[in-house]
Structure 1
């Protein structure tokens, strides 16, 4: 599905639009944008601060209000002076990655046409993606005046197989250790032959397609998978992504999880009791697109990482994993 939002705005309408956006923020008990914190000295940086800390302000609003707010933000971003430090910081939020145009066309995109020309093309696109809580990645549109932003999750370590069809995009996701790892796990459900464990290590997740996920068979005792990074790596975060649509019952299979780490392969598949506990998630997950974030208080060094549901006669479906 593609949603087209025109960002070609009469400058005379910018201030009322921004005022409407300020009212939206006040409804959610946020300070007005003209009362910045000590870390927020310019209007564009205030917008970035507010929307980074509370992206739900747009997501929880009616679509019509969300469009008005987003257009107001884009207009304000374009006409306000941006200090060089903020321009650099915005551009540095994203990392370049090659993505197939065919694959990109299948994602849920929000096409921002003919953005105001107050900033360079790359910074305009980065700013548009920064203020849209749905955006995970942006690509240059058909012209330098257009940006294509997408909710597709693509890590910066992703390697596009179809380079002939590839285009340069810029992702929010950090480079992690999952891409390039090997994986073993519980058997796949026979009715979902495309939902294989290898989907978790390819570095890309199209939220519109649940066949990009990994689904184990039913009635398994403690379904699991384990990643082998090939060598010891150091990390603090493990992120587990639920499917973005479909059956909520499959989202709820993400429950009673243990994540463990170790330096050697276990002798008995599925028995990770010798590994150190990294973190756990009682759950269950309850929302489409939910991201479970496990964080270690200090960096952990390990070669293997296991994820296991600690229940019998169960199943598990996950759609994307990041470790960094």
Structure 2
């Protein structure tokens, strides 16, 4: 609870300072964190590897943009529709790919990301092709537009906090137990009467909903979308966020998000080479910090405390103990 209050205070302080660059950066953090929370539930709690989660984010962004531009749907309804349809798409994809396991599952989800990116580039009549879609209206509450970074900042972090709370409650529920059991062993899950396939489909649908929500929010904030932000590099970023924070810790996703977004700012001068650096970071974390940076750091600190030498007993202490007897 203290950590939550500290986070809220820090976010409020940033908003109060009026630093436009910092506010913009933290909006990006919130938009990255929302789909990463869903991926954390899929990977960390259910043990299913996804290398193409950016595909669901792209689907949510483009669907929200298309609905508001083409049929003049209210942006809030577009946000809800994009979230729901992304969940449905993820469920359908899960019904197909969860027949595979391990590296085969990872390759199938990577193929999904590549296919979606190709569709976004080639289907010009719907997606605008490489030029993308412009003129996407922003969210509004009555006459008040939420186009400013400050307004989106509050909305994005409110949705992120809601998503974190829902994921935390889910992890503590019987469904969370079923997810962890499936992650450990599907045979054990079956012996306990848990339908592993059904659990995995439910979780990927929920994960897709988080991704679609993040994508739709991004589209309404920027007002323009193109295929480039949703390439394979984006999926690797989401994977790195979860790996850094620790796969089985939804709150730790925030740490991974802050690190990846800040590193992304530093890597802008490298252009297309950033995907190589992200890949190297991801491999390093997977090899040397299998439980994530946060969990590994906590483990090392516990070991240091256990190795700390005991305070030598002073003669005065012995005398005081005798007097107390």
TM-score (norm 1): 0.22
Higher helix share: 2
Q: Max radius of gyration: which structure?
A: 2
Higher strand share: 1
TM-score (norm 2): 0.22
